[in-house]
Every structure is written in structure tokens, then in C-alpha cells.
Amino acid sequence: MSVATPRSFNPAFRAAFESKISSLYGKKHLSNPTECQRIIDKLDLRTKYNCSKLDIIDVNSGAGLFSVMLNYELKPRNHILIEHNPHFHAHLAQKLEMAREISNNAENFQLLNWNPFRWSTYSSLFEEKILPWPSEQPQDKIHDELLIVANWTGPRDESLIAQWISCCGARNWLMKYGKIRMVLFGPPASIRKFMSDPGFRRRNRTALKRELFTESKLIAIEPGENEAGKDYDPRVLVRDQPLVLAKDACVKDRELTVLEVVRGQYTTEDIANIEHLLSPIFLNTVPLKHKLHKLAPGAEYLARFLPESLLEKNSKWLTKEDVVSIAEAYEKWPFKPTIEETFDITEVSQYGH
């Protein structure tokens, strides 16, 4: 390490991080301590937690540099590293053992070779008394005893991020305990879609649900080939003011994006009655008033309960409030069809769904 060692770099791990990983095994990993420090400073988590009562669940910890620095910054009660990849598990185990000779695990790390794709992995942390059961805390404050950090930068990890967002809406999994903050590392292409506000060309159902079910913030973005932030929604960039990571932030100069997510205002129950209609609504960019008749037999009736300004919008411009209004209008429809009656066999065949 250079003389200008970042504030949050634990000196007990100095020797452990003199060697670097050579393979990525499908994920992208931070390898630049200065860039890790910038992310930690941007998150400003130390001012937001009573760290003596804080437990961290750290998923796909991989190279481990960010995990170690975040740990030194926060000094949590427990820091669980979940790493199922055998190469990274061995890599982390070696580093923890080297540091333990100096610090005697004052960091409260525990490394588990558990599968992060299984829902039971997370409940088992409490059932097996590895962590104390989280207290249920009110919706109007961030949960101050549990923090989730996860690396979902793999080529097929977008669906996992979408599932965790859905859990925020369903108020299940760990989200049943309150507004638990998640710091997610994701593929830039996926995060661009998730973080598209109404009217942006990438806006889709996933972006709508992210807006409905979470309060999300871009923390850091990749530098890009020529222009940082080129393919992001510019309004999100102005609002969140994310860091632009250095080109050497990651192992082999690969790129990732950092997103902060907490449970939002609306739940899946708020739109449960029209969940099956979101797919046809987002099928094209025809204004809503011209596609009502295709959503369900007699669905033109919904126009009685919706303002003209909403009816004139196409799917890319629908806000979370608009979708809730559609759900409320649907509930007022006295002769609404069953879910089965809303499916058009010919259209299903045509679009291959």
C-alpha cells in the first residue's frame, strides 16, 4: 500500500492485501482502496448507525477489500461474510486468518460458505443464532441494527436485484423488519434500467417497481468509455450526484455501479389487482386511453375514474402515483373480469409470452 493509505483501511490487513486476485469468476470487484474510501464517504453510514448494535450481512464478498474497509469504518457488532464461490471463500479465509494473528478478529468477522441464492440462507442466520433476530422497526425510519451489502455484478444477477426490490414491496424476507438499507453493487446496464424515471427511454416495468417499492439512490457509476453517465437518466444524475469511479477502481479495470436501496412507500398490495395488466400496459408506447379496450373486456369503463392527463400518457411516462390511481380505478369497476378473462389467447401466441 502507498503512504497515503485511506482512512478506512485496516492496518491489520496490510499484508493480506499485498497480493491481489487474478480471476473474477463472473463478478466484478473493487481493488482500489482510494475508490473504496470515496464510496464509503459518499454513503456516510457512520453517522447513520449506532455501530455497537449494528449487524452487517455481506453477500458475495469476493475480493474482500470493500468489506474490510467498510468494517473498519463502522466497527459493527457482527459482520457476516457470505461467499459461496470456493476460490473467493479460500481467498477470504486466508486474508482473515492473516489479520487474525494481529487483531484477534476484533473486527467480528464470520465467513460462511453458504449459498446466497437460497432464501433460507438469510433466515438461517437468525435461526442458528449466528445473528440476533432483528427488531421490527417503524416504516418512517431506517432500520438502525441491520445493514445489507451485496455484490450482484454477475451477468445473470439482474433478476436477483429485481427479486430483492420485489421483497421491498411485499414486505417479506428481511424487509418485514423495517426499512433496512441495502448497498448493492450491480452491472451498469442493469442499474441504468432500474434507475430510469418516468419519460426516460429505458423506463420499463422494472424501473416502475423500483420507484414504487423502494427509495433508491445512485452512489457511484462507472467511468464509461468516452463520457461518464452517458446512458443514465440525466435527471437521476442531477438528483443523486453519484461518484464517477476511476478506471482502475476494479480488478482488471472492469466496471460496476453502486446503488443504495431502502424499502419505499408503496407495497405489492397497492397494485395487486392490476399486477397482471402491467405487462400489456408496457407492451408498447400507445397512450393508455387507446389501449384500455385491449387490457380486459369492458376496460374502457376505467376512463370514468381517471383524469385525462393520465389517459394521454404512454407507459414510459407513468409515475408510481399514476399506477396506484389505475389500481384504485380498477377497484371501483363493478363488473371487472377475472384474471383469466383478461388474457387474449391470440396475443399470447403472437408475443410468445
**Digit-coded pLDDT (tens) for 24-49:** 778 999 999 999 999 999 999 999 99
H-assigned helices in the chain: 33-43, 65-74, 86-103, 119-127, 158-170, 188-194, 205-213, 234-240, 278-281, 288-295, 308-311, 320-332, 345-351
Residues in the chain, total: 353
User: What number is the average pLDDT over the span 197-222?
Assistant: 96
pLDDT at 251: 85
Which amino acid makes up residue 170?
A
Q: Domain 269-351: give its CATH code.
A: 1.10.8
Residue 5, classed as helix, strand or coil, is: coil
pLDDT at 343: 60
Select the highest-mean-pLDDT range: 83-87, 228-232, 253-257.
83-87
345 pLDDT band, cuts 50/70/90, is: very low
Q: Is the pLDDT of residue 1 over 50?
A: no
Is residue 39 within 8 A of residue 117, CB to CB? The reply is no
30 labelled binding-site residue: yes
Residues 6 or more apart whose Cβ sits within 8 Å of residue 116: 59, 60, 82, 84, 150
Tell me the whole-structure pTM to 2 decimals. 0.92
Domain boundaries, the chain: 13-265, 269-351
User: What number is the average pLDDT over the span 212-233?
Assistant: 91
Q: Is the pLDDT of residue 305 over 80?
A: yes
151 labelled binding-site residue: yes
For residues 248 and 341, give the distance between their C-alpha atoms in angstroms, rounded to a whole number: 54
Q: Domain 13-265: give its CATH code.
A: 3.40.50.150
**Digit-coded pLDDT (tens) for 123-148:** 999 999 999 999 988 888 999 999 99
60 labelled binding-site residue: no
155 pLDDT band, cuts 50/70/90, is: confident
What is the largest distance, in Å, between two alpha-carbon atoms of the chain? 73
pLDDT at 2: 46
